[in-house]
Amino acid sequence: MPRSLSAIQPTGIVHIGNYIGAISQFVKLQHETEAFYFLVDYHAMTVPFEPRELHDHLLNATAIYLAAGLDPKKATIFQQSQVHEHTELGWILMCLTRLGEAERMTQFKDKGKNTSASVGLLSYPMLMAADILLYDTDYVPVGEDQKQHVELARDLAERFNKMFGETFAMPTPLIKKTGARIMGLDDPTTKMSKSAGSPKNYIALTDDEGTVRKKIAAAVTDSEGTIDFAPAKRPGVSNLVTIMAEITGMTPKEVVQSFDGKGYKEFKGTLADTLVEFLQPIREKYLALRADPAHLVGVLRDGSARAKELAEKKMGAVREVLGIRL
């Protein structure tokens, strides 16, 4: 069976962009692959963070994974920092990465503009490469923003294999044709993001009905008043069409056709109804799961123990080819 692996950062809420671009793929792939989905708590430390919040976000994100449909009997759900081999391989891969190569990563260019950016922000793509390569991953389901980082993992696997002998499998990114980059509701020219300044940017998977309705009503569109899918020319309405398409299983074209002759008010009203209906059961499950932190910790511990078995074995092989296994 092929192996799939991916993660989310426990840095805040989990939004509908994370769900559409990544988590919806995880839920499907847990039935078709040997699946590993985890929480990258070390990645969350690349920007300033509060330990108390990080602790809460870890439990929140675990509850979201389960509420969104991941099943710990099917997928290995774990915490990155509980498997020390990630940082060990991350260091080795950092030593194989050229500084210019790391500095070319667009996420670093976006977030690391100022001199107070951490070295961790520069080097986290190598830790992500380690996350992937440690498990001989075949498929990495991600949103479009992570494509460049998966490509770096491929380059590093190839480089390592050439220098030290065939050790790592070559991972392939799985990026959806529609929904790989959901845009911010308040600014449809940039991606929907947890770290966005305003909650109006995103719909959280845990938003209640009133909040969803308010955010959709306030979502930026344009003055044309018609429903269309033309992301370059009409990013706001096209983003809403994409969200509607991904939640209902329609194509953007079908969504546009079904709102032919209708205006924003009607379209936004139906989109809000659709989202509320989709999110309500997730929110209810989330709240029930979140009330039992011991269960969530147990899921992560069990998953981490399983992941560690594989990671230890792989690191043994890596140490061997590097000449440091005495």
> Known catalytic residues?
111, 191, 194
49, 68, 154, 213, 238 from 20: Cα distances, Å: 26, 11, 24, 19, 15
Stretch that binds ligand AQP, among 68-76, 129-137, 193-201, 213-221 (CB under 6 A): 193-201
Q: According to CB under 6 A, which one of 4, 18, 30, 80 is a site residue for ligand AQP? A: 18
**Among candidates 18, 8, 2, which has minimal Cα distance to 143?**
18
* Residue 181 touching ligand AQP (CB under 6 A): yes
| Residues near 269 by beta carbon (within 8 Å), at least 6 away in sequence | none
Stretch that binds ligand AQP, among 8-16, 67-75, 86-94, 254-262 (CB under 6 A): 8-16
Q: Where are the alpha helices (DSSP H) in 221-292?
A: 235-248, 252-258, 264-290
Strand pairing report for 34-39 and 75-79: parallel
Q: Which helix (H) or strand (E) holds 79?
A: strand 75-79
**Residue 92 near residue 314, CB atoms below 8 Å:** no
* Residue 236 touching ligand AQP (CB under 6 A): no
Stretch that binds ligand AQP, among 153-161, 190-198, 270-278, 308-316 (CB under 6 A): 190-198
Q: According to CB under 6 A, which one of 56, 101, 145, 302 is a site residue for ligand AQP? A: 145
Q: According to CB under 6 A, which one of 3, 4, 5, 17 is a site residue for ligand AQP? A: 17
Q: According to CB under 6 A, which one of 193, 221, 238, 239 is a site residue for ligand AQP? A: 193
For the bound state, the minimum distance from the C-beta of residue 214 to ligand AQP, rounded and expressed in Å, comes to: 20
Q: Which residues pair with 194 in a beta bridge?
A: none
For the bound state, the minimum distance from the C-beta of residue 238 to ligand AQP, rounded and expressed in Å, comes to: 14
- Residues numbered 49 to 108 that lie near ligand AQP (CB under 6 A) are 107
Q: What are phi and psi of 78, to 5 degrees?
A: -150, 175
Q: According to CB under 6 A, which one of 3, 5, 11, 68 is a site residue for ligand AQP? A: 11
**Among candidates 131, 54, 119, 55, which has minimal Cα distance to 87?**
131
Rounded distance between C-alpha atoms, residue 120 and residue 141, angstroms: 23
Rounded distance between C-alpha atoms, residue 142 and residue 119, angstroms: 24
* Residue 206 touching ligand AQP (CB under 6 A): no
Stretch that binds ligand AQP, among 91-99, 118-126, 180-188, 237-245 (CB under 6 A): 180-188
Q: According to CB under 6 A, which one of 90, 112, 143, 173 is a site residue for ligand AQP? A: 143
Binding interface with ligand AQP (CB under 6 A): 6, 8-9, 11, 17-18, 20-22, 107, 142-143, 145-146, 180-182, 191-195
